[in-house]
Structure 1
Amino acid sequence: MRSSNPVFSRRGFSRDNGYAGFNAAPQAGGPAAVQTGNPYAGTNPYAQQAQPQQMYGAPPQADRMTMDDVVMRTGMTLGTVVIGAAIGWFALSGPDRFGFAIGCALVAMVLGLIQAFKRKPSPPLILAYAAFEGLFLGALSGAINEQFEGAPMQAVLGTMAVFAGVLIAYKTRIIRVTQRFYRFVMAAAIGFVLLTAVNLLFMAFGGGDGLGFRSGGLGIVFGIVGIVLGAAFLALDFKQVEDGLAYGAPREESWLAAFGLTLTLVWIYLEMLRLIAILRGD
């Protein structure tokens, strides 16, 4: 299973696509597979490394990613986003906010793409991305708040509710991330992105609201679909983190987990903010 998130798609954490060994060649019949009876342990390059450590009494989990690592790195990344958002909110006012927001969004996009295609996580790069993403969100949210007071806080609460709901549904196995689930989400995401791109082209060359995906009843439906897709991406991210923990991912991979979760939460927040603005504008 590869996540729709570009961060995780270059490092398959899961067992369904042959990338459980973090792009390493399968090691079928390894000692972990024999001793534990785990049919997937043979594909984990860290399984055989653990055996000598256990023989000499060294802690086999010392350099592996833990849930505490993921939580701490995610907290640092999201904290940087929040600080950047606070600066972006109070830095400018009026129409200047939109130009500032667009500039920060472009920088964040470039930094995010660079990290997505790097073979190893770069904490400074990830935190720089988070800072510019925060500046973008703060400036945009401040502009929206001038029109619809309280909308950004409503979007934050909505994003938190989606995160909590998906986490509970995932942990209780109400949501099961399978190959079929993955294929459906990816097909829907491709269609969503293509429609968004077409709408932007119509807005740029035809003026107005393009195809109407940003206002009215159609905009509401489009916004709900965007939030649902964000929730599905979140489930895929949880699956990637779970598999990374199960397969003994290196500790540095926790930065990628934090980066991926931040990308998804930003997506959900933006879609939530847009939907609230449409609902309050009608």
Structure 2
Amino acid sequence: MANPLMKEEVFKEALTEDSNDLMTLEGAINKSLILVGILILTAIGVWSHADMFIPYLLPIVLIAFILALIIIFFKKSSPFLTPIYAVLEGLAIGVISAFYERELPGIVIQAVSLTFGVFLIMLFLYKSKLIKVTENFKTGVIASTGAIALIYIISIVGSLTGWFNVPMIHESGMVGILFSLFVVSIASLNLVLDFDNIETGVEMRAPKYMEWYTSFGLLITLVWLYLEILKLLSKSRK
């Protein structure tokens, strides 16, 4: 969801390793484009076969989650595992998007357009220094992201056990729409953290494999942002 997984300590840890091949901004951009391209092509590939993949959606998500944990704890594996992770995310996104599109025609192209629009806006705000990544900014974004994650975890546990439901946040009323707007805002601000993390890695002369690791973090945020925009559009159209 968010990328506290790319704190400065991560780069300091990587710097303790001998490496003559260093991370570059161009390399990180290229890796990000590769991962996003893999995800999009995979999603398009399963789009017309979504029904066939429905029984495998939960296993795909679980495998992707496990793979993400492996990448986080074994960063040197990122050049090999992040493309596989992008494929799994593409499978899940393709299935989910197809079913949203069946219910609400046109919603997917709107969500994709808004996701890339938000990405470009946040990149402009970051590069122009209109948003400055201070320690207080990082703390606020990470804390807000953690709070959202906690709400989602509580909601999932309550739904699976049948003990309770978190009221209104998943509904199409005003509270649900405002909650989705808040989540989309926080996901957007996480993009700024991703941009800063990539630049930090380059400045600290991190090893080459960190290009894949930071691109992995950016991919997580983009997927999260896209799904939250889908939810927001769905709520606003019902």
TM-score > 0.5, shorter chain as reference: yes
Which residue number in structure 2 is paired with residue 168 of structure 1? 124
Which residue number in structure 2 is paired with residue 243 of structure 1? 200
Question: What is the CA distance between 1:103 and its match in structure 2?
Answer: 2.6
What's the secondary structure of 2:188's corresponding residue?
Answer: helix
Q: 2:92 aligns with which of 118, 132, 136?
A: 136
Which residue number in structure 1 is paired with residue 231 of structure 2? 274
Which residue number in structure 2 is paired with residue 86 of structure 1? 44
* Alpha-carbon distance change, 248 to 10 in structure 1, aligned in 2, over 3 angstroms: closer
Larger fraction in helix: 2
Q: Distance in 1 between matches of 2:224 and 2:160?
A: 22
Question: What is the CA distance between 1:98 and its match in structure 2?
Answer: 4.2
* Alpha-carbon distance change, 98 to 225 in structure 1, aligned in 2, over 3 angstroms: farther
Q: How does 1:118-197 map to 2 (within 5 A)?
A: 118-197=74-153
Q: Distance in 2 between matches of 1:207 and 1:272?
A: 28
Q: Distance in 1 between matches of 2:100 and 2:165?
A: 17
* Residues 1:112 and 2:110 aligned together: no
Sequence identity, in percent?
Answer: 30
Contact 1:70–1:257 at 8 Å: present in 2 too? yes
Gaps (5+ residues) in structure 2? none
* Residues 1:5 and 2:3 aligned together: yes
Q: Distance in 2 between matches of 1:99 and 1:179?
A: 44
The RMSD of aligned alpha carbons is 2.4
Gaps (5+ residues) in structure 1? 14-18, 25-44, 50-61
Question: What is the CA distance between 1:108 and its match in structure 2?
Answer: 1.2
Contact 1:6–1:116 at 8 Å: present in 2 too? no
Which residue number in structure 2 is paired with residue 76 of structure 1? 34
The number of residue pairs the alignment matches comes to 236
- Per-residue deviation, residues 171-202 of structure 1 (Å, max 9, x unmatched): 01111111111111122112111112222233
Q: Distance in 2 between matches of 1:155 and 1:120?
A: 33
Higher relative contact order (CA 8 A, sep 6+): 2
What's the secondary structure of 2:136's corresponding residue?
Answer: helix
Who wins on radius of gyration, i.e. which is larger? 1
Query: Normalization by structure 2: what TM-score?
Result: 0.90
Which residue number in structure 2 is paired with residue 59 of structure 1? none
- Per-residue deviation, residues 244-281 of structure 1 (Å, max 9, x unmatched): 11121222211112111101100100100111111111
Query: Normalization by structure 1: what TM-score?
Result: 0.77
